[in-house]
Amino acid sequence: MTAAKPTSFQGLILTLHNYWSERGCVILQPHDVEVGAGTLHPATVLRALGPKPWSAAYVQPSRRPGDGRYGENPNRLQHYYQYQVLLKPNPPDMQDQYLGSLEAIGIDTRLHDIRFVEDDWENPTVGAWGLGWEVWCDGMEVSQYTYMQQVGGLDVSPVAGELTYGLERLAMYVFGVDNVYDLPFNDRGMSYGEVFLENERQMSAYNFEVADVETLKRQFEDMERQVVRILEVGVGPQGQKLVLPAYDHVLKASHLFNVMNARGAIAVAERASYIGRIRDLCKLCASEWMKQQEQAA
């Protein structure tokens, strides 16, 4: 089946959904808690762990409060979309499957120069790392491709292959657009700017000027305490610990930290300690999740 090449931002997403759906992925919707990267969706961070196979693809809004530019920079956004694919165990032909997805969205490998350039991925806030590449198309990074080796300090076994496409950047490239706000959102004349420009303006002002540091700090500490409490006292109907709600609270803590950071409220020396605190919470959840997965298997 040769589908027509996408001509809009949402067409691009639908093409990727179709492509990965045909390859056996569960097509999920975004996780409804603010996260800084698609990796943090429980469908990646938690499902990467444990013995069970799992294939999923989804779009996840990434919130990067510090990257906001009040809608004035053509490339930078504090809210943008990542397309995330997780294949566990990674299939032997995963590179070919990935290259097929580029063809599907209209990148002709006979005209373009596609390269796999070493880039080892690491996310210290969730104690995760893997080896892989940045994938370049004519010198531009279009995806991150990682064989995840550890999450939450635990071995990912079997190994999960993770693909992250930066959707706006990819769309700008495929559609030859220089300003993100000029991207065609659909095929009926709606632009990305009409959908998101106002959001960038307001959220930038909030993140940089209005967010109340004292409140954020207090909420961060609340979340931190809740993670520990939920894991300690919570019991599910099958007697299990409540790792999923606990993990949501880790994500909330992580986002609160990002806003505080954008507000300039965190000194260099404090930064590492905050990241360490989030990592510790994440490890608690990861090891509990792993236990449940192993018991189930």
Partner 1 sequence: MPQLLLELFSEEIPARMQAQAGRDLERMMRDGLSAAGLISEGMKAFAGPRRLALVVEGLPIAQADRDEELKGPRVGAPDQAIDGFLRKTGLTRDQLVEQDGVWFGRSQSKGRPTTEIVAELVEATVRNFPWPKSMTWGSGKLRWVRPLQRILCVFDREIVPIAFEGLEAGDLSQGHRFMGSGGVFRARDFDEYREALAGHYVVLDPEERKQRILEGARTLCFARNLELVEDEGLLDEVAGLAEWPVPVLGDMDPAFLDLPPEVIRTSMRTHQKYFAVRDPATGKLAPHFLVVANVAAEDGGRTIAAGNAKVLSARLSDARFFWDEDRKSGFDAWNDKLSGVTYHAKLGSMAERVERIATLAHHLAAQVGADPTQAHQAATVAKSDLASQMVGEFPELQGVMGRYYALADGKDAALADAIRDHYRPQGPSDEIPTGPLGTAVALADKLDTLVGFFSIDEKPTGSRDPYALRRAALGVIRIILEKGLRLPLNSVPGVQAQTLMPFFADRLKVTLRDQGKRFDLVDAVFALNDDDLVRIVARVEALDAFLKTEDGANLLAGYRRAANILKAEEKKGPLPQGAPTEVADPAEEGALFAALSALGPKLDAALEAEDFTAAMTALAALRAPVDAFFEKVLVNSDVPAERDNRLRLLQQVQAAMGKVADFSLVTG
Residue 140 in the binding site for partner 1 (CB under 8 A): yes
Q: How far is the C-alpha of 51 from the C-alpha of 109, rounded, in Å?
A: 36
The residue from 7, 75, 186, 199 that contacts partner 1 (CB under 8 A) is: 75
Our finding on whether 237 is near partner 1 (CB under 8 A) is no
Per-residue contact flags (x/-) with partner 1 for residues 180 to 219, judged by CB under 8 A: ----------------------------------------
CB of 200 to partner 1, least distance (A): 18
153 binds partner 1 (CB under 8 A): no
- Our finding on whether 32 is near partner 1 (CB under 8 A) is no
Rounded-to-integer distance, Cα 200 and Cα 198, Å: 5
Number of residues that bind partner 1 (CB under 8 A): 37
Segment near partner 1 (CB under 8 A); pick from 28-36, 78-86, 248-256, 263-271: 263-271
Part in contact with partner 1 (CB under 8 A); list of ranges 106-114, 184-192, 239-247, 273-281: 106-114
Q: How far is the CB of 91 from partner 1 (least distance, A)?
A: 8
DSSP 136: E
Element (H, E) at 175: helix 167-175
Rounded Cα distance between 229 and 243, Å, is 11
**Any contact of residue 103 with partner 1 (CB under 8 A)?**
no
User: Under the criterion CB under 8 A, does residue 226 sit at the interface with partner 1?
Assistant: no
Q: Assess 100 for contact with partner 1 (CB under 8 A).
A: no
Q: Point out which span in 20-28, 91-99, 206-214, 220-228 binds partner 1 (CB under 8 A).
A: 91-99
**Is the torsion defined by CA of 165, 98, 43, 273 positive or negative?**
negative
Tell me if residue 172 falls in helix, strand or coil: helix
- Residue 1 or 269 with smaller CB distance to partner 1: 269
Measuring CA to CA, how many Å separate 86 from each of 5, 49, 69, 98, 239? 24, 12, 31, 11, 29
87: its two tokens: 């294949």
- Residues 262, 63 contacting (CB under 8 angstroms): no
Q: Which of 1, 2, 4, 110 binds partner 1 (CB under 8 A)?
A: 110
Q: What is the DSSP annotation of 194-227?
A: HHHHHHHHHHHHIIIIIS-HHHHHHHHHHHHHHH
* Structural tokens at position 171: 């769309």
Q: Are 128 and 120 in contact (CB under 8 A)?
A: no
Q: Which of 138, 187, 194, 198 is in the footprint of partner 1 by CB under 8 A?
A: 138
Structure tokens at 34: 């603010």
What are the residues binding partner 1 (CB under 8 A)? 75, 89-92, 95, 99, 109-118, 120, 130-133, 137-140, 147, 149, 157-159, 161, 173, 178, 267-269
